[in-house]
Chain A
């Protein structure tokens, strides 16, 4: 936060720049920006999958290409029409909720993915609900007990976990809890995509644990860093020198300021969870969108790939928007400087 270029002297108090509709305006602007971003993202997704030079239908079918199959794929993806028409058709479909049909099994994308989205959503939400409070706690305690054993140990664990690719964590957990060392948890989620996962909770334990282990280090490191900075700030020292109880110094002066940077990172990490599920679901054959995406890439099932890419990018955009709004709302300086 930079100081204003002009320091007012006593005679000219700074006016409160509170505009009644400041926040509404801000949110509206951010939403519009988000929509614009999504629009550009749709161009990239479409461009990368369908508008590449060459015969998309032949690329999709590969060796299985017969004249009949080629014609069918071309018809389904409108490949016979100009690229701009194809894009308009495709985007129109997405906006109105019609994502097309899967090339592999001819099911409508929405019904094919519906349950999987719910399953993945549940997995991500469950992991988030556990890992966010956990990592904020670990980070804050690490800062409060800086360089004491708890901090040293959690720092080292965080460092190691942050380094590991998710699938290595997943495979490691399988080796540890499901096969080689202990055998009390299922290694793979042998459930059909149509069964809601919460009815088979034991299958979700390892995937969720993997996600939690993958995300917690990042958020707790940021929280620790930002809390350390706040604890060394002049205003926390001042609060102590005013004779406030330590509990009050932490809860009223340190935490509310320390948590602000963590919000942005949390949003980023949640968005990352949406990507992290891809590999993790594959490791555990968990019936969610990640597994579906990997299958679709293997089969070159364009409508599924396009829809899932848009979905995951959309989640990112929305989460970022929420994080910005939350940051603005809890930091008075930003809130009142909105025009």
Chain B
């Protein structure tokens, strides 16, 4: 009942993670969240991640403007290796690889961003409500979340695509729906710890309304893990959206899309690898970038919260 282990004896100041710099100056007046961000930005991995993401987002956003050819024009014979007329060669129908690559990033990025945002909002709302209501309400909510978890994300998406067909709005909604229970679990877990803290009880004793306790006492205390989760979820969204396109249930031909490009040009790998290699590499670097950011945030988070008494 009484945790009297308060004495850490000088060791509280010892940096436990070597990546973290010494504790912040005592009198700095920056908010804990701002400090997490600043620490994350100082880590090499976060910088590399940000650089990767920036470059690839730029490619996806401005690529279509830079494409030398139309994405649907036939510029040469199928599977022509890089050379004159087509810098990166042509694809299985003889279209310009580079132009299709430059144009094919937007869809992945927009769809996965939308799915991530929707999934996060739904998940956080569900998780917070479950954690704060506790009891049977909590049980019911989390049990139903568990059931969605029984389907691997891709199977769940395929299940819905099989009846409704490859619609983009459906893709966004189902990817978001597979994220929501996973985010809810995390949000609930983080919130449960916060709900037990005395400042929540202090607010209850003062008669603070429930919604205000959720939004101004609990939510601000889980923003840091949520940021980590958001960048993780974005990583998975990109993978999922690209995979669905790759399987042929996302954007439909003749659209230019990275996942679809990999699928369409697989047969000619031995002759002309570029229409497969370019989008594969782009997706790889993008997901690695977002994951590096997630990891940087997570490390900064540990560093910052270690400094405080209860960590």
- Which chain A residues lie closer than 8 Å to B273 at the CB level? 175, 179-180
Among A6, A187, A279, the residue within 8 A (CB) of B246 is A279
Interchain CA distance A147-B16 in the complex, whole Å? 12
Cβ A159 vs Cβ B284 within 8 A: no
Kindly state whether residue A90 has any CB partner on chain B within 8 Å: no
Interchain CA distance A278-B18 in the complex, whole Å? 40
Among A40, A164, A297, the residue within 8 A (CB) of B162 is A297
Cβ B162 vs Cβ A300 within 8 A: yes
Q: Give the number of residue pairs across the A-B interface with Cβ within 8 Å.
A: 138
Among B1, B147, B262, the residue within 8 A (CB) of A171 is B262
Cβ A164 vs Cβ B1 within 8 A: no
- Which chain A residues lie closer than 8 Å to B280 at the CB level? 168, 171-172, 175
Kindly state whether residue B80 has any CB partner on chain A within 8 Å: no
Kindly state whether residue A223 has any CB partner on chain B within 8 Å: no
Stretch of A42-50, A71-79, A105-113, A124-132 lying at the B interface: A42-50
Q: Given A275-B154, A279-B154, A305-B162 in contact, is the A171-B276 Cβ separation under 8 Å?
A: yes
Cβ B163 vs Cβ A48 within 8 A: yes
Cβ B160 vs Cβ A309 within 8 A: no
Cβ B155 vs Cβ A312 within 8 A: yes
Cβ B152 vs Cβ A49 within 8 A: no
B149 (CB) vs chain A CBs: closest residue: A316
Cβ A168 vs Cβ B161 within 8 A: no
CB-contacts of A179-200 with B (<8 A):
179-180, 187
Kindly state whether residue A276 has any CB partner on chain B within 8 Å: yes
Size band of the A side of the interface?
Answer: 35 or more
B246 (CB) vs chain A CBs: closest residue: A167
Interchain CA distance A313-B153 in the complex, whole Å? 11
Least Cβ distance of B3 to chain A in Å? 8
Q: Given A147-B18, A297-B162 in contact, is the A278-B155 Cβ separation under 8 Å?
A: yes
Q: Given A175-B273, A175-B277, A180-B273 in contact, is the A275-B152 Cβ separation under 8 Å?
A: yes
- Which chain A residues lie closer than 8 Å to B1 at the CB level? 3, 5-7
Cβ B287 vs Cβ A168 within 8 A: yes
Kindly state whether residue B121 has any CB partner on chain A within 8 Å: no
Kindly state whether residue A162 has any CB partner on chain B within 8 Å: yes
Main secondary structure of the interface of B (DSSP, over half): helix
Kindly state whether residue A298 has any CB partner on chain B within 8 Å: yes
Interchain CA distance A137-B163 in the complex, whole Å? 44
B239 (CB) vs chain A CBs: closest residue: A165
Q: How many residues of B contact A (CB 8 A)?
A: 47
Cβ A316 vs Cβ B161 within 8 A: no
Stretch of B55-63, B199-207, B209-217, B288-296 lying at the A interface: B288-296
Interchain CA distance A15-B63 in the complex, whole Å? 70
B236 (CB) vs chain A CBs: closest residue: A165
Kindly state whether residue A294 has any CB partner on chain B within 8 Å: yes
Q: Given A37-B146, A40-B147 in contact, is the A187-B162 Cβ separation under 8 Å?
A: no
Cβ A179 vs Cβ B154 within 8 A: no
Least Cβ distance of B182 to chain A in Å? 11
CB-contacts of B141-172 with A (<8 A):
146-147, 149-155, 158-165
Least Cβ distance of B77 to chain A in Å? 20
Least Cβ distance of A43 to chain B in Å? 9
Q: Given A159-B292, A162-B291, A163-B290 in contact, is the A294-B158 Cβ separation under 8 Å?
A: yes
Interchain CA distance A38-B194 in the complex, whole Å? 33
- Which chain A residues lie closer than 8 Å to B290 at the CB level? 163
Kindly state whether residue B124 has any CB partner on chain A within 8 Å: no
A43 (CB) vs chain B CBs: closest residue: B147
Cβ A282 vs Cβ B247 within 8 A: yes
> What residues make up the interface of B, taking CB atoms closer than 8 Å to A?
1, 16, 18, 45, 146-147, 149-155, 158-165, 235, 238-240, 242-243, 246-249, 262, 266, 269-270, 273, 276-277, 280, 283-284, 287-288, 290-292, 295
> What residues make up the interface of A, taking CB atoms closer than 8 Å to B?
3, 5-7, 37, 40-41, 44-45, 48-49, 52, 56, 59, 147, 159-160, 162-168, 171-172, 174-175, 178-180, 187, 232, 271-272, 274-276, 278-279, 282, 293-294, 296-298, 300, 302, 305, 308-309, 312-313, 316-317
Top 7 closest pairs, chain A to chain B, by CB: A275-B152, A165-B239, A163-B291, A163-B287, A313-B150, A179-B269, A297-B162
